[in-house]
Amino acid sequence: MVQAVATPSDLSKSEALLLYEDMVLGRTFEDKCAEMYYRGKMFGFVHLYNGQEAVSTGVIKALRPDDYVCSTYRDHVHALSKGIPARAVMAELFGKVTGCSKGRGGSMHLFSAEHNFLGGFAFVAEGIPVAAGAAFQTKYRREVLGENADQVTACFFGDGATNNGQFFETLNMAALWKLPIIFVVENNNWAIGMAHPRAAADTRIHKKAAVFGMPGQEVDGMDVLAVRQATQEAIARARSGEGPTLLECMTYRFRGHSLADPDELRSPQEKEYWFARDPIKLLQVKILEWGLATQAELEAIDRKIQLVVEDAVQFADESLEPDPKDLYLYQFAEDE
């Protein structure tokens, strides 16, 4: 398993605080989503990301703003890490016109062309071929059209998606065409209520990359520095034309599959083991041990993010709902 080898000299104060702030934003935002859901401000299925923040932050904050990200139905924090404002994400969850998908997508269908965020997808593995398409257009623009295009696409999906046909078919094409893409498996050991060992003949997902001749790595998905390091290496390969990489990030969701899930299948012992490896607390300890920031500085970030999230809720609550007369807007690219 890839583990962080970073030392204080490898990580600046500004980088450390950026990573910490992004993870705190994700956690605080999701906690507020749970509150709003139970207060009746959100409807349908809402899948929270608590516990997996090191994967989103470690991958996306290593990318450039013009790189692409393709998500899953657990997409809120990916969107935030990619730079979509908390206001726009929260408003979308409230079904308001100020949301990033104009109030038409909701929790599982966040999208932002401005931020090269290609969407959340409700069906398992649905986004994998979409991400390959984005990576293909980058390669086509560079090699056929002669443009200076070197964007990388990061494609997120869970362990449950790796037994689907899209996973194998897309990895094959990506390796064959040397697409600039990083396949990021967020292995939280559970696909809804199915434990990973009960669904996979070989539970080592990263080993499946070898079938297609691409590098596959198992990464400590609770350590943002380990994820960041592995992602930086994969980005360098992709930009230099060496093709795709598969990263299996071993992580854990702290809540049930969705807010409608009573979460009775996972044992208390399993949960306690992973709760002790909270990625935010692990980074906090390193920052303090390495003298990169003080406790007061970290607490100031916590307070700042709390205000950001509270502001997002107020903005979403005060925004308008879509007008029924606009039902047929945004169905085609020419619509404004």
Task: Tokens 């059209």: give the residue.
Answer: 145
66 neighbors 57 (Cβ within 8 angstroms) = no
Task: Tokens 């692990």: give the residue.
Answer: 282
| pLDDT at residue 7, as a whole number | 63
| pLDDT at residue 238, as a whole number | 98
Give mean pLDDT, residues 5-27: 88
- What three-state secondary structure class fits 34? helix
- What three-state secondary structure class fits 248? strand
Q: Average per-residue pLDDT in the chain?
A: 95
Give mean pLDDT, residues 186-204: 94
Q: How confident is the model at residue 285 (pLDDT cuts 50, 70, 90)?
A: very high
The candidate with the shortest Cα–Cα distance to 48, out of 97, 120, 96, 115, is: 120
Give mean pLDDT, residues 173-178: 98
Relative to beta strand 181-187, strand 245-250 is: parallel
Q: How confident is the model at residue 1 (pLDDT cuts 50, 70, 90)?
A: confident
What b-and-e string marks burial along 37-66, b requiring 16 or more CB atoms within 10 Å of the CB?
beeebbeebbbbbbbbbbbbbbbbbbbeee
80 neighbors 29 (Cβ within 8 angstroms) = yes
| pLDDT at residue 130, as a whole number | 98
| CA 205 – CA 23 distance, rounded (Å) | 25
127 neighbors 118 (Cβ within 8 angstroms) = yes
Q: How confident is the model at residue 2 (pLDDT cuts 50, 70, 90)?
A: low
- Is 13 a residue whose pLDDT tops 90? yes
- φ/ψ (deg, to 5) at 25: -60, -45
Domain ranges of the chain: 8-286+303-319
| pLDDT at residue 61, as a whole number | 98
Give mean pLDDT, residues 62-71: 98
What is the pTM for the complete model shown?
A: 0.95
Tell me how crowded residue 172 is: count the other CB atoms within 10 A of its CB.
14
Helix (H) or strand (E) segment spanning residue 153: strand 153-158
Q: How confident is the model at residue 30 (pLDDT cuts 50, 70, 90)?
A: very high
At 115-129, the pLDDT tens digits run 999 999 999 999 999
Cα 158–Cα 160–Cα 161 angle in degrees, nearest 5:
70
| pLDDT at residue 335, as a whole number | 53
| pLDDT at residue 336, as a whole number | 53
Share of the chain above pLDDT 90, in %: 93
At 301-323, the pLDDT tens digits run 999 999 999 999 999 999 999 99
- What three-state secondary structure class fits 312? helix
Sequence-distant (≥ 6) Cβ neighbours of residue 248 within 8 angstroms: 185, 187, 204, 205, 206, 216, 217, 218, 219
| pLDDT at residue 132, as a whole number | 98
Task: Report the CATH number of the 8-286+303-319 domain.
Answer: 3.40.50.970
- Is 181 a residue whose pLDDT tops 70? yes
Give mean pLDDT, residues 211-234: 97
Cα 281–Cα 74–Cα 109 angle in degrees, nearest 5:
140
Give mean pLDDT, residues 289-294: 96
Relative to beta strand 194-195, strand 153-158 is: unpaired
**Token pair for 55:** 């994967």
